């Protein structure tokens, strides 16, 4: 029950004080008296009074002075002055100073009671209007819905002076009313149920007053425990978003003025809550855009599947505030779901776990390609608790959306146990949007991994092809190499025969041993050159001297030139800068071009090998022969695989050479005139 109004009677006549106390006390007012102005001011400073009935003619300090001091102190109380007919002029002056009204002596009890009631009504109305003003002012400062609701309940309780006050909000998706910001399970009322005064207001959109709820068939104790209840709707643009109700333990405790005031509060509260929701939604959208932008950047910058999945898991937990999250990818070949990524209490245990694609809520999502939100998984027949047994996590609520790429469901993202409440449509929309980006990122990463594997296989094949061409080139040099190897063996053999069959002086023996040693060194050097060339290419890019690579190649083919009557000319720039390359691969290219040049001169001829620095900074190595040249119609095809005009040729030498140079960022050009000769030039870029 509200506290009684307090009234202070100030008069130096005890009989007047007694009369006023007897007239007002039966009405439930708490009445106190004072005999002079100083005593009145002491009591006013000590406690709060709603009304002061003040005699003008007081000893020591008159009523006008007391009134002035009350107003100077800004005390919120109504003052009614008592005056005789002879001093009406003074009473009117008191009204001008802020007194509510005046009563002339002698006064009647009914007049006193009526005047006091009107003064209290004015004061109560002013307090309520002040509460409405406070609400309007606070609403402009608050952009948090929970804070808005707290302010509304506080002001509604103060304005109506009742302690029982609730604000219910409408959940349109569930067709329910719920009490926000409550500890424990959220109280809810079904809008489909005919019972409930609050629900009736939400359905009708109009106010409802039940003077005695026990006599109202719509009343339900789920709302409040009371005797009378007043409920008004919160409406925005004709749409009911909630209900504000107050209750009293007294029967018929509310007036039409209470209903009007509560309706005014509800109207302002509805706008404030809607604005707070809009602001919160904008904040959420800004956060969503930031996250989606981050994921979008991942799509263009991350091509590692594990990194993509780790990023997705991190963002799901951060955005939704959940206890755990998982990505399950669909293995179509075995029709299974694989836990590919997880952020939760048992990640290492869970990742790699498989289950049939028809099992659990995730299986339901895969089969139908639809998102699903489950507030209580224990009451959902689709839920599979076997995963909880693996992780040790107790799943309570779950949000799952499909990963869809080009119309095909490739997996599922699950978010488990929201920390600060239940999943809502915003969580669904956000996770669904994220899932769309994640699906693209996952597929891109998969394609990249597949491409990398194909590239690895291709490079392996190319390496095998290069090695085959090396062995083929070595085979074409075989006769010359055999002759070059045979000569040292003959010299060694002859030296040993002489030493075994003839008596020689020590100095002569030393001379033959020296000869044998030199020929062995020649064999070792030749063997090293052959093995160095024939080994599998090691693609170690490093700064190399091109002239050194050229010299090693020419040394390997030296006997080949002699047997084919080739006159070799060197024109190597001594100032040629180093270049970044794999020397063994370039050695193969140079040998292929040398052999092709020799093959183009079956009757012998001149081969000129030159190196120089081009004006644009590129390094150039040219092989010019005086052979038969290349027909004009073949020039555009000589680098094609398997194209050859030589009898028994594979057509791979120039193709492999071109691929090697291209991997170095370079190029091979050719100039040829039939009957005069051909020049192949290898162009290599300057190191960055």
The torsion angles phi and psi of 101, rounded to 5 degrees, stand at -165, 180
Q: Kindly tell me the sign of the dihedral angle through the C-alpha atoms of 480, 483, 485, 487.
A: negative
**Residues whose CB falls within 8 Å of the CB of residue 367, separated by 6 or more in sequence, listed in order:** 357, 358
CA geometry: angle 574, 576, 577, nearest 5 deg: 135
| In the predicted structure, residue 483 carries a pLDDT above the cut 70 | no
**Biggest CA pair distance of the chain:** 172
Instruction: Read off the pLDDT of each residue in 30-53 and give the average, rounded to a whole number.
Output: 89
Q: How confident is the model at residue 210, as a pLDDT? A: 86
Average pLDDT over residues 37-55: 88
Q: Decide if pLDDT at 390 tops 60.
A: yes
Beta partners for 236? 239
CATH of segment(s) 535-684: 3.30.565.10
CB 102, CB 83: distance < 8 Å: yes
Higher pLDDT, 612 or 534: 612
* Residue 37 burial (C-beta neighbours within 10 Å; 0-12, 13-18, 19+): buried
Question: pLDDT tens digit string along 588-608?
Answer: 788 889 888 988 898 999 999
**pLDDT score for 212:** 85
Element (DSSP H or E) covering residue 610: strand 605-613
Most confident of 209-218, 388-397, 464-473: 388-397
Give span(s): CATH 3.40.50.2300, the chain.
6-126
- CA proximity to 164, closest of 233, 241, 253, 242: 253
Q: Please list the residue range(s) of the chain that carry CATH number 3.30.565.10.
A: 535-684
Q: Is pLDDT at 394 greater than 70 in this prediction?
A: yes
Q: What's the CATH number of domain 142-280, 3.30.450.40, 1.10.357.10, 1.20.1250.20, 3.90.850.10?
A: 3.30.450.40
> Which of the listed ranges 61-65, 568-572, 580-584 does the model predict with the highest average pLDDT?
568-572
Residue 325, strand partner residues? 343, 415
C-beta of residue 235 within 8 angstroms of C-beta of residue 243: no
Alpha helices for 196-340 (secondary structure H)? 197-204, 256-301, 305-320
User: Is the previous residue joined to 106 through a cis bond, with omega within 30 degrees of 0?
Assistant: yes
Give the DSSP H or E segment for 471. helix 425-476
By mean pLDDT, which of 395-404, 512-521, 525-534 is the weakest?
525-534
Q: Which residues contact residue 44 at a Cβ distance below 8 angstroms, ignoring those fewer than 6 apart?
A: 8, 52, 70, 75, 77
**The pLDDT of residue 320:** 83
What are the phi and psi torsion angles at 482 (to 5°)? -65, -40
**pLDDT value of position 578:** 93
Give the model's confidence band at 488: pLDDT under 50 very low, under 70 low, under 90 confident, else very high.
low
pLDDT at residue 98 above 70?
yes
Residue 621 falls in which region: left (phi positive, over 0), alpha (psi -120 to 50) or beta: beta
Angle, to 10 degrees, between the axis of helix 88-96 and the axis of helix 63-72?
0
143-149: long-range contacts (C-beta < 8 A, 24 or more apart)?
143/275, 143/276, 143/279, 143/280, 144/276, 144/280, 145/180, 145/273, 145/276, 145/277, 145/280, 146/180, 146/181, 147/276, 148/269, 148/272, 148/273, 148/276, 149/180, 149/181, 149/269, 149/273
Q: Which 3-state string (H, E, C) describes 31-50?
A: EEEECCHHHHHHHHHHCCCC
Strand order through the sheet with 188-190: 188-190, 176-178, 164-171, 239-248, 228-236, 208-210
Q: What pLDDT does residue 650 have?
A: 46
Residue pLDDT, tens place only, 456-481 = 665 665 555 555 555 555 555 554 45
CATH 3.30.450.40 fits 302-449, yes or no: yes
Neighbours of 205 (CB within 10 A): 12
Q: Which of these ranges, 2-16, 87-101, 244-258, 404-418, has the smallest mean pLDDT?
A: 87-101
pLDDT tens, residue by residue, 512-524: 677 677 667 766 6
Note the pLDDT of residue 632. Answer: 85
Banded model confidence at residue 648, pLDDT cuts 50, 70, 90: very low
Q: Are 413 and 311 in contact (CB under 8 A)?
A: no
The pLDDT, as a whole number, for residue 1 is 45
Here the tokens at position 472 are 């083929």
Taking residues 602-621, what's their average pLDDT? 93
- Taking the CB of residue 214, how many other CB atoms lie within 10 A of it? 10
Q: What is the CB-side half-sphere exposure of residue 246 using CA atoms within 13 A?
A: 26
**Are the C-beta atoms of 431 and 415 separated by less than 8 Å?**
yes
Range with the poorest average pLDDT among 251-260, 478-487, 610-619? 478-487
Least confident among 4-18, 197-211, 290-304, 645-659? 645-659
What mean pLDDT do residues 164-175 have? 86
For β-strands 239-248 and 322-331, DSSP reports them as unpaired
Q: What is the pLDDT of residue 572?
A: 95
Pairing of strands 51-55, 6-10: parallel
The arithmetic mean of pLDDT across residues 201-230, rounded, is: 78
In the chain, CATH 3.30.450.40 sits at 142-280, 302-449
Considering the chain, what percentage of its residues have pLDDT values greater than 90? Answer: 19
Q: 262-319: per-residue pLDDT in tens?
A: 888 888 888 888 888 888 888 877 877 777 677 667 666 667 777 777 878 887 887 7
Highest mean pLDDT among 118-122, 154-158, 311-315, 574-578: 574-578
- Distance (Å, rounded) from C-alpha 165 to C-alpha 299? 51
Res. 372: pLDDT tops 60:
yes
| Residue 103 Cα to chain centre, angstroms | 73
Mean pLDDT of 315-331: 86
CATH architecture of 6-126: 3-Layer(aba) Sandwich (3.40)
Q: Yes or no: say if 273 and 242 are a contact pair by the CB < 8 Å rule.
A: yes
Q: Tokens in use for 41?
A: 């001011």
Q: CA separation (Å) from 341 to 203, 259, 299, 322, 327?
A: 46, 57, 17, 15, 5
Its sign, for the CA torsion 135, 137, 140, 146, is negative
Q: From CA 409, how far away is CA 412, in angstroms rounded? A: 8
Output Rg (C-alpha) for the chain, integer angstroms: 51
pLDDT at 373: 92
């Amino acid at each position: 029950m509200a506290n009684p109004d307090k009234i202070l009677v100030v008069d130096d006549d005890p009989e007047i004080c007694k009369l006023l106390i007897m007239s007002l006390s039966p009405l439930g007012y708490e009445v106190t008296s004072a005999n002079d102005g100083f005593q009145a001011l002491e009591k006013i400073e000590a406690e709060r009074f709603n009304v002061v009935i003040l005699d003008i003619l007081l000893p020591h300090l008159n009523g006008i002075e007391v009134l002035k001091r009350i107003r100077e102190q800004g005390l919120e109380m109504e003052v009614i002055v008592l005056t005789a007919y002879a001093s009406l002029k003074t009473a009117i002056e008191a009204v001008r100073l802020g007194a509510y009204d005046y009563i002339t002596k002698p006064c009647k009890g009914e007049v006193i009671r009526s005047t006091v009631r009107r003064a209290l009504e004015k004061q109560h109305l002013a307090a309520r209007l002040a509460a409405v003003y406070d609400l309007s002012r606070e609403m402009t400062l608050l952009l948090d819905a929970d804070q808005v609701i707290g302010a509304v309940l506080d002001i509604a309780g103060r304005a109506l002076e009742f302690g029982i006050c609730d604000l219910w909000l409408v959940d349109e998706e569930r067709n329910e009313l719920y009490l926000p910001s409550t500890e424990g399970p959220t109280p809810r009322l079904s809008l489909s149920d005919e019972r409930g005064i609050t629900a009736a207001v939400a359905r009708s959109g109009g106010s409802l007053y039940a003077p005695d709820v026990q006599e109202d068939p719509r009343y339900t104790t789920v709302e409040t425990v009371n005797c009378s209840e007043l409920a008004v709707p919160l409406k925005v643009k004709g749409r009911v978003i909630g209900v504000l109700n107050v209750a009293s333990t007294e029967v018929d405790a509310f007036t039409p003025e209470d209903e009007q005031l509560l309706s005014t509060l509800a109207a302002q509260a509805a706008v404030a809550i809607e604005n707070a929701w809009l602001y919160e939604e904008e904040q959420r959208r800004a956060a969503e855009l930031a996250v989606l932008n981050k994921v979008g950047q991942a799509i263009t910058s991350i091509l590692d599947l594990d990194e993509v999945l780790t990023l997705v898991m991190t963002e799901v937990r951060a955005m939704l505030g959940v206890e755990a999250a998982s990505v399950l990818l669909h293995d179509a070949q075995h029709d299974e779901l694989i836990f590919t990524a997880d952020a939760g209490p048992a990640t290492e245990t869970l990742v790699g776990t498989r289950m049939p694609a028809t099992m659990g809520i995730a299986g339901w999502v895969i089969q139908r390609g639809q998102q699903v939100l489950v507030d209580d998984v224990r009451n959902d027949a689709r839920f599979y608790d076997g995963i909880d047994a693996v992780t040790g996590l107790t799943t309570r609520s779950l949000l799952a959306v499909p990963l869809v790429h080009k119309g095909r469901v490739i997996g599922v993202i699950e978010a488990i146990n929201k920390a600060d409440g239940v999943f809502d449509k915003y969580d669904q929309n956000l996770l669904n949007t994220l899932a769309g980006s994640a699906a693209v990122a996952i597929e891109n990463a998969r394609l990249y991994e597949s491409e990398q594997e194909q590239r690895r296989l291709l490079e392996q094949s190319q390496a095998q092809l290069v090695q085959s061409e090396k062995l083929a080139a070595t085979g074409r040099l075989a006769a010359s190499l055999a002759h070059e190897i045979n000569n040292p063996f003959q010299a060694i053999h002859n030296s040993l025969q002489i030493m075994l069959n003839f008596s020689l002086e020590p100095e002569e023996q030393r001379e033959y041993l020296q000869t044998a040693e030199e020929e062995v060194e020649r064999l070792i050097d030749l063997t090293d050159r052959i093995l160095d060339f024939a080994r599998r290419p090691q693609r170690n890019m490093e700064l190399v001297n091109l002239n050194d690579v050229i010299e090693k190649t020419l040394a390997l083919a030296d006997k080949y030139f002699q047997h084919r009557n080739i006159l070799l000319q060197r024109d190597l720039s001594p100032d040629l800068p180093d270049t970044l390359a794999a020397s063994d691969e370039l050695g193969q290219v140079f040998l292929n071009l040398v052999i092709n040049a020799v093959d183009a001169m079956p009757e012998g001829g001149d081969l000129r090998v030159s190196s120089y620095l081009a004006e644009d900074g590129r390094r150039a190595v040219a092989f010019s022969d005086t052979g038969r040249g290349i027909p004009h119609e073949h020039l555009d095809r000589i680098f094609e695989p398997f194209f050859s005009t030589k009898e028994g040729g594979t057509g791979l030498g120039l193709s492999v050479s071109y691929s090697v140079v291209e991997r170095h960022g370079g190029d091979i050009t050719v100039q040829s005139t039939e009957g005069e000769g051909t020049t192949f030039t290898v162009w290599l870029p300057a190191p960055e």
